[in-house]
Structure 1
């Protein structure tokens, strides 16, 4: 870090304190100009990141959960003036996990922010209408409908604060019961819409979940594409087929084969896209990087390649 470089720290006060962050700053922070910007319930990070850019920050550190990181990245993607760094303090910390940022290590993550190299990071942008209001939001990890969205809705907040991401496991059974197959029309990269059905549709920029689960085995956050997964399994037999697809076809067997792309199965369809438009026959809850946006009947997702540089 060059002397006099400006670094802004955007932190979520519900996740940490400025004092804890200050104590964890690396020695190299002494050579930088550090400014502090606090998020609020009304501003999860976009406004604070805008303040940081206005102050001339070369790097903006997002200290919080996936929602804080998403909000800061969304703002930086609209202004190519600063790099993003992450101090993961949330339940999932999915972007940090996919990028190899230290988890549960304030000093390690802050050292990356002040001293680490940077790489290009794609973002996805989702356009939809919720409760009669049009919205366009960015995501760094995953967006979609179905099991993942229901897990977020069904997860107990008190349990999540006590046991972290394991709270999502507790909610999985209720999420499965709440998830029903829906008819949909899917248009990939501007092609004619095709009819399909499924209970879960995920479009992702990153593919690895907690516990090292590779939900989207082809996903690369810097390849200029998004990865799509459509699940349609119903009943034990079909779910076993889905598990076989993940564990064997796109897991163990792939380690010893030359398959460059994830293989689809009868109950699990994989694709890589730059843009996808979805029309649902019935409204479904839409999830974006762990946030429940509400119910929608249609949405469009497109990639912004190399939207930000991240340390």
Structure 2
């Protein structure tokens, strides 16, 4: 996890003659699109600008490479990968006028798809190429999260701060098994330990305490590869959508979970929804996950930032 203060975030403008920087994650989507990268770069070059592939061996190096590229004056930044790759790149372009293109090539591509890009990476690159040729970009909102220590993170899709975040944290601590089975085992362990947590929630300044199992704050509607946890979220309305699932027991949670893919879980009597510009969230022992990436510990303040990034479409 990387965290920066607001003052550390670069204020940068695109260089019209600069290269298009590309952050690519060859392991995204379990590597199924790895062989497509040369083709995607060739197609990108048809936009008539130099193409610069960023080098990084870790997620932290990827984020640092994106920040450096923006500061050095690239004309645009692309992220080829899933939501995690996009999340790293967003830390560099958020709050700047450097246009950004998410090319969905991961297991979860929620931000790209929810903001209007084709799910197919080749088709998404064609959209980016056309936007670069035409000098066109489209503003969308981002969420800015601030921790108790002043650390700042941006995210594009959804912040998870309930059961799903707890499962992710458990899975990340496990050394065995490898692959998706580790996540499945983490679910079973945390289901056995399931209990509502006490949250303090401020929605545009209105405070309440609540016992909950699921808590999500969405700029977009989906997380986890198409789960419509915040189904009515709109990344152009300047607002955050908050979904709180209350005192679910194990059986009820397992019945409700499949409904999240359709977004119909919000009709359950234990689910409450809110819409706000700013949300303050506190609870003991919770590490949040933003765009599927490990992020800040609670308490956090999340603010909707209108037109915080310009997308190449």
Same fold (TM over 0.5): yes
Partner of 2:164: 148
Partner of 1:127: 146
Deviation at 1:10, TM superposition (A): 1.9
Partner of 1:188: 203
Deviation at 1:299, TM superposition (A): 1.5
Partner of 1:273: 276
Q: Whole-Å Cα distance in 1 between the matches of residues 93 and 216 of structure 2? A: 24
Mapping 1:1-311, distance limit 5 Å: 6-15=19-28, 20-27=36-43, 29-30=45-46, 31-41=48-58, 43-80=60-97, 82-103=98-119, 105-116=120-131, 118-129=137-148, 134-155=150-171, 161=179, 171-191=186-206, 193-209=207-223, 212-235=226-249, 238-239=252-253, 251=264, 265-280=268-283, 282-293=284-295, 296-311=297-312
Deviation at 1:135, TM superposition (A): 2.2
Q: Whole-Å Cα distance in 1 between the matches of residues 261 and 88 of structure 2? A: 33
Q: Whole-Å Cα distance in 1 between the matches of residues 258 and 65 of structure 2? A: 45
Residues 1:284 and 1:44: Cα distance change in structure 2 (over 3 Å): same
Residues 1:113 and 1:179: Cα distance change in structure 2 (over 3 Å): farther
Q: Whole-Å Cα distance in 1 between the matches of residues 291 and 199 of structure 2? A: 22
Deviation at 1:218, TM superposition (A): 0.9
Q: Whole-Å Cα distance in 2 between the matches of residues 25 and 220 of structure 1? A: 31
Deviations 1:122-143 (A, max 9, x none): 11111224xxx65221111111
Deviations 1:64-119 (A, max 9, x none): 33222112112111322x1110122333222123234344x443232222224532
Partner of 2:7: none
Alpha carbons 1:125, 1:138 under 8 Å: kept: yes
Structure number with the higher strand fraction is 1
Name structure 2 gaps, 5 residues minimum. 1-15
Residues 1:300 and 1:179: Cα distance change in structure 2 (over 3 Å): farther
Q: Which moved more, 1:166-175 or 1:20-29?
A: 166-175
Deviation at 1:187, TM superposition (A): 1.0
Alpha carbons 2:103, 2:124 under 8 Å: kept: yes
Name structure 1 gaps, 5 residues minimum. 252-261
Structure 1 counterpart SS, 2:247:
coil
Deviation at 1:201, TM superposition (A): 1.3
Q: Whole-Å Cα distance in 2 between the matches of residues 237 and 51 of structure 1? A: 48
Deviation at 1:52, TM superposition (A): 2.3
Deviations 1:162-217 (A, max 9, x none): x6xx97566544343344212222111123x2121112211011113456442212
Q: Whole-Å Cα distance in 2 between the matches of residues 287 and 28 of structure 1? A: 31
Q: Which moved more, 1:108-117 or 1:181-190?
A: 108-117
Alpha carbons 2:82, 2:104 under 8 Å: kept: yes
Q: What is the aligned length?
A: 287
The Cα RMSD (Å) is 3.5
Q: Whole-Å Cα distance in 2 between the matches of residues 100 and 160 of structure 1? A: 33
